[in-house]
């Protein structure tokens, strides 16, 4: 198992571009990885989990390496449909409307951009969401 729990810079760079487009969203270090917030609400969190401590992530090991995971908010009406297809999406092990995506070379970054924007729309004040449209 990898000993480093740092998010790869290429993935972090791609996410930073997406979150920078969201009005008043900001980045900060989290207890693990990096998160983006609007006010005090988290809209996205990317991290590399320790699968020994959190075995819920074990199915997503690739070649013995911990997965890079991003959690985000999804409208309840859309959550089951998103996770029904399986990899790379799954229901996060907390929260009623939180999904997770395993990120990597397989990622569809246009789809990730849509999911990040939708997560923002779930958490941001309506007047900020209106600035997106």
Q: What is the CATH number of the domain that holds 20?
A: 3.90.1150.30
Is position 38 within any domain?
Answer: yes
Least confident of 16-20, 57-61, 67-71: 57-61
What are the beta bridge partners of residue 11?
A: none
Average pLDDT, the chain: 93
30-56 mean pLDDT = 94
> What DSSP designation does 130 have?
H
Is position 41 within any domain?
Answer: yes
Q: Is the pTM of this model over 0.75?
A: yes
Is position 75 within any domain?
Answer: yes
3-class secondary-structure state, position 113:
helix
Query: Which structural domain, as residue segments, surrounds residue 61?
Result: 9-130
CA distance 69 to 54: 13
């Amino acid at each position: 198992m990898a000993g480093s729990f740092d998010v790869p810079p290429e993935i972090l760079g791609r996410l930073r571009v997406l979150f920078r487009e969201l009005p008043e969203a900001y980045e900060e270090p989290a207890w693990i990885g990096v998160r983006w917030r609007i006010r005090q609400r988290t809209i996205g969190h990317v991290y590399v989990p320790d699968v020994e401590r959190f075995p819920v992530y074990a199915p997503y090991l690739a070649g013995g390496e911990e997965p890079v995971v991003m959690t985000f908010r999804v409208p309840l009406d859309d959550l089951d449909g998103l996770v029904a297809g399986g990899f790379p999406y799954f229901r996060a092990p907390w929260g009623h409307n939180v999904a997770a995506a395993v990120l990597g070379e397989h990622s569809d970054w246009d789809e990730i951009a849509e999911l990040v924007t939708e997560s923002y729309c779930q958490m941001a004040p309506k007047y900020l969401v209106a600035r997106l449209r």
